[in-house]
Chain A
Amino acid sequence: MYSTAKCSHPGCQIHVSEPFSTCYHHASEEVRHDMLTLFSQKLEQNLVRDVSMVGCDFEGLDMSYGLIRDSMFTFSTFRHCDFTASRIHTSCFDMCIFIECRFDRLRSTNSIYAGSLMKSCSFTSSTMLSCNFMGLESLDNDFTGSDLYFSNFSMGRIVNTLFEDCDLKRVNFTASAIKDTSFRWSNPEDAFFSPGEVHW
């Protein structure tokens, strides 16, 4: 489970994972290297579990076919990362930035992506059950063919995004600003929108 220990740097509220006492941001170069080495070891095993990498920058990370469970990546940035066919369960990616990442055939349950910025990411044929995308800033993303049952996209800004051929049963889009977004071949009548909004 997520560590509840805080960074030892005065005033820093970021959670740290054992055996480290500071967050990535406040760690020395040597400790940062150790953190990344430990993380890459977990990546090689395709099993990332109980990891707290808050506020980190990842570029070209390959997590395809891997399992991420009980981990925390809040305030992190992911550029050109590959999560194809991975499984993400009970993990936190809130307040993150995702740019040109691939999440095709992802299976994610009970995970948090709220408050994130997603640009040009692909989530095709994914299953994302009970995931939290509240306050999402979505630009040019593709959720085609995904099952989004019970997920929450409320209070977000969704622009030029494809929700085609998706299962939108009980998906919450209330209070979201939705523009140039397609719900073709999906079931938006089973989703929740703000009163007066019709998106199909």
Chain B
Amino acid sequence: MRVRCHFCPSGQVNSYIVCDKGKALIIDPAELDIEVIRTLEDLQCEPAALLLTHSHVQHRAGIGKYLKVWDLPVYAWSADVPPYKAITLTEGQHEIAGMSIDVIHVPGHSEDSICFHIEGALFTGDSLASGRIGACAGMHQRARLAMGIARKLLILDEGTIVFPGHGCPTSIRIEKTFNHELLERQVKLSEDFFQDSADATRHGGAEA
């Protein structure tokens, strides 16, 4: 399997071309330009499917161009990707274009945010980026996203390479060590835990 990043300057979005045995998955098709064509030629592969980490417009702005050139299925968490209809994905293992893909639902940045875990690579869209977590509409959604990342993404192998929708690649090990937004949350959780433990001890002691 090979992964190539394509940076789309409008929206500053990363698209990814994941190629294996002559077939390519396009993750977050933000743009179809000459660079993408050159990369596909270099890898000697043909696009087989478009995958969306979420339906925000800058991550899927290139769908129309792709569908003009190739007849491709579009996969997403939600079927509604106006003006297109997507094939819905559920959490768990899927076989797309001969590649085994683990779909992980991590709501928070948007309700339909998902991550794709393909071999040792994790495509996180806007859920997790290098050193930060995705922007959310409110504290509740932010807590939900941080919890989803902690429970579903940080449990993956530490050597897993993370390819985010914006910015540079990272790894699970690096995010566990240096992502201050997740570290702050861990500290908060630890403080809550110790506060709860202290309260329980105090109440237990009072009752005794």
Report A's interface with B, CB cutoff 8 A.
1-4, 13-15, 70, 72, 74, 90, 92, 94-95, 109-112, 114-115, 129-132, 134-135, 150-152, 154-155, 170, 172, 174-175
Task: Assess the B3–A1 pair: CB atoms within 8 A.
Answer: yes
- Partner of B174 from the list A3, A14, A114, A130 (CB cut-off 8 Å) is A114
Complex Cα spacing A74 to B3, Å: 18
A residues less than 8 Å from B159 (CB atoms)? 2, 13-15, 72, 74
Complex Cα spacing A70 to B121, Å: 12
| Number of residue pairs A-B, CB distance < 8 angstroms | 92
Report B's interface with A, CB cutoff 8 A.
1-5, 7, 12, 14, 119-121, 130-131, 157-159, 161, 167-171, 173-174, 177-178, 180
Jot down 12 A-B pairs with beta carbons below 8 A, ordered by A: A2-B159, A4-B119, A13-B158, A15-B120, A74-B159, A90-B3, A114-B174, A130-B168, A134-B130, A134-B170, A152-B130, A155-B131
Residue of A nearest to B2 (CB): A1
A residues less than 8 Å from B174 (CB atoms)? 94, 112, 114-115, 132, 134-135
- Least CB distance from A191 to B in Å reads 13
- Partner of B161 from the list A13, A92, A152 (CB cut-off 8 Å) is A92
- Least CB distance from A61 to B in Å reads 23
Secondary structure dominating the interface of A: loop
Task: Assess the A135–B177 pair: CB atoms within 8 A.
Answer: yes
B residues less than 8 Å from A74 (CB atoms)? 159
B residues less than 8 Å from A110 (CB atoms)? 5, 168-169
- Given A90-B4, A130-B168, CB of A115 within 8 Å of CB of B178: yes
Task: Assess the A132–B130 pair: CB atoms within 8 A.
Answer: yes
A residues less than 8 Å from B180 (CB atoms)? 154-155, 175
Task: Assess the B119–A132 pair: CB atoms within 8 A.
Answer: no
Task: Assess the A115–B2 pair: CB atoms within 8 A.
Answer: no
Task: Assess the A114–B5 pair: CB atoms within 8 A.
Answer: no
- Given A15-B120, A154-B178, CB of A134 within 8 Å of CB of B161: no
Residue of B nearest to A109 (CB): B5
Complex Cα spacing A122 to B164, Å: 28
Q: Which 6 A-B pairs have the closest CB atoms?
A: A4-B120, A135-B178, A132-B168, A130-B168, A155-B178, A114-B174
Complex Cα spacing A109 to B180, Å: 24
A residues less than 8 Å from B12 (CB atoms)? 150, 170
A residues less than 8 Å from B4 (CB atoms)? 90
Residue of B nearest to A131 (CB): B168
Instruction: Beyond A72-B159, A112-B171, A134-B178, list 15 extra A-B contacts (CB 8 Å).
Output: A1-B119, A1-B120, A70-B2, A94-B171, A95-B173, A112-B170, A114-B171, A114-B174, A132-B174, A152-B130, A152-B131, A155-B178, A170-B12, A172-B167, A174-B131
B residues less than 8 Å from A114 (CB atoms)? 130, 170-171, 174, 178
